[in-house]
Structure 1
Amino acid sequence: MQWIERGTRVTYCIVTDGGAGGYDDRLPRQAMADLRRAEQVHSAKLSGVADVRFLGYPDSFVEASVELRRDLCRVIREVRPQRAIIPSPRSTGRGSPTSTPTTAPSATPVCAPSTPRPATPSPTPPC
């Protein structure tokens, strides 16, 4: 929120549709996805975020794939962020079934194009 208050333009990129994140078994999966999308847009608006991108991957079925990386790269190229907040590549795996597969495809396009490779190997990766 501090970044937004200081005038930083923020974009949310939501990978999954949220269809599995429900509390009402009577609600069809698509209706739950629509509800989750509306909640994200509303929450973003309250936070001062005007740009919310939805990739629409089925909730709980995301895999690290060429398609996911392509879609994330497209958003990154369009937005051209100076900072990106993504799941940690060093995650202990305690995240949701969706957060772990999105880590590497998210980190790679953010780090790779703009990070110069050190002349000597570094004990810590640049990203």
Structure 2
Amino acid sequence: MIDKTEATPPALDPMPGDWRRALAVVAHPDDLEYGCAAAIADWTDGGREVVYLLATRGEAGIDTLDPAECAAVREQEQRASAAVVGVDTVEFLDHRDGVIEYGLGLRRDIAAAIRRHRPELVITLNHRDTWTPGPGGPWNTPDHVAVGRATLDAAADAGNRWIFPELTEQGLEPWNGVRWVAVAGSTTPTHATSAAPGMERAVESLLCHRAYIEALTDQAPEEYVREFLTGIAERTAARFDGVPAVSFELFAR
């Protein structure tokens, strides 16, 4: 007889706290707001520095807006949303939205940013094919997969002077100080941090992406955002001692 009872997922460990600088690398405006802004708000409150690096300006994200106009709108929304959670530096790589290619160019761009900002923690978004474990889950986008995978690789590239030696020639010395890469929205999380201290600012931060949200759903933006963010945090609580939380898959280096 086959036992079809699903095993209880293991408890999530607390995220490490002994770091001062983080670099968050994602594909689009709003990726961090959907993924982990509550955690970032709490971290910056504690005196940590977080920098955002976006591969695109999200110019292909709103069907009713021409890409040139959309890029300007979404950049403005991203800078406003970052400020809400205490992030002052937001950089864009200007890869094309929707057609980001994993490869040496993307790895080099991210490695350069890691060398420039010298983070101990690097944050990115789910790099796997789906958003849920097992077959049949919602399909992830190629941009998320490419940027997430390139970020994991670039964390090592940044510390090797013989990979992308042109970066050293540009004055970007190798940085081998990345201690972890944390993947938000992972299908297989390992760690978490409480969402409670930063939740209200996370809601406000995602609401800054109003043009995108209004094109995405007919639901009132405030209702949609709060339901989405609190729902994820509350579901994560079952694996984090009952505490609503933001989860990550943590890769140590």
How far the C-alpha of 1:19 sits from its partner, in A, is 0.6
1:61-76 equivalences under 5 Å are 61-76=99-114
| Contact 2:101–2:146 (8 Å) recurs in 1 | yes
Which structure is larger by alpha-carbon Rg, 1 or 2? Answer: 2
More strand by share: 2
Mapped pair 1:7 → 2:44: no
Mapped pair 1:44 → 2:89: no
Mapped pair 1:100 → 2:140: no
Which letter maps to 1:11? V
Which letter maps to 2:62? G
Tell me the distance in 2 between the aligned counterparts of 1:7 and 1:126.
23
Secondary structure of residue in 2 paired with 1:10: strand
Moved over 3 A (4+): none
Q: CA RMSD in A?
A: 2.1
Tell me the distance in 1 between the aligned counterparts of 2:125 and 2:156.
13
Number of residues of Structure 1 aligned to a counterpart in Structure 2: 116
Aligned to 1:28: 66
Which letter maps to 2:80? H
Between 50-59 and 97-106, report the one with greater CA deviation. Answer: 97-106
Tell me the distance in 2 between the aligned counterparts of 1:107 and 1:39.
27
Aligned to 1:118: none
Q: Give the TM-score, by structure 1 length.
A: 0.81
Which letter maps to 1:19? E
Aligned to 2:125: 87
